[in-house]
Amino acid sequence: MKTLIIGSAGGIGKSLSEDLFKDSLDIFLGYHTNPVDSTYKSKKVDATNFEDVENFIQSGVETLGGVDAIVNLPGNLILKPAHLSTEDDFYNTININLKSAFGVVRAAGKLLDNCSIVLMSTAAASIGLSNHELISSAKSGIEGLAKSAAKTYARKNIRVNTVSPGLVNTPLSKKITENPIVLKASIKMLASNKIGEPKQISNMIRLSLIHI
């Protein structure tokens, strides 16, 4: 299985890259500012730029000799109510999350056939959480994108799915996990009474890729 991972330098991206590499899958990693381990084939990519994403996917095709799956992991987390959110907050959140996902679908629709696309959403898009207006707006857009794209590109056998975790212990969620009061309040909202770990989410993605 020839797999591209965009946003591979993050907590979930690192775990997924390690898992797929151990499974002897051929992977090509995209990173933005933090380079990935030199063990892997990789290329810098601005996930918020359509042309850059398309060039990255084309490079993946050339490097791996084809692409069977793309996982898009870029994300941010700004927790504040809508009335305190700036226009920059809004556009940054939309660009990093929704625009990056749209760019992947757009490029895959132009360049690929017979592949699987996995996009990252969040449980907050479905259940509604205080101060999550920014991220919920962007991730809800991703879920709508995935449903429509799955219909549009079914004729090319391109499958589009989302993974929607709750709070995960990654560098992205440090503002929550490193604040004991906020963390305690967050855990109370979880059925398991504990936050997720990157390995758990990467396992979900990994299994969906292995069984496509």
Tokens of residue 198, six digits: 């990157």
Predicted TM-score (pTM) of this structure: 0.90
Cα separation, 7 vs 37, whole angstroms:
13
- Contact present, 179 and 212 (Cβ < 8 Å): no
Write down the pLDDT at residue 9. Answer: 86
Write down the pLDDT at residue 34. Answer: 83
- Over residues 150-186, the pLDDT tens digits come to 999 999 999 999 998 877 767 676 676 666 666 666 6
Write down the pLDDT at residue 51. Answer: 98
Rg of the chain on CA atoms, in Å: 17
DSSP track, 37-72: PTTSEEEE--TT-HHHHHHHHHHHHHHHTS-SEEEE
- Over residues 91-109, the pLDDT tens digits come to 999 999 999 999 999 999 9
* pLDDT under 50: residue ranges of the chain: none
Cα separation, 131 vs 122, whole angstroms:
14
Write down the pLDDT at residue 105. Answer: 98
Q: How many CB atoms lie within 10 A of CB 141?
A: 18
**Residue of 2, 7, 14 whose CA lies nearest to 202:** 14
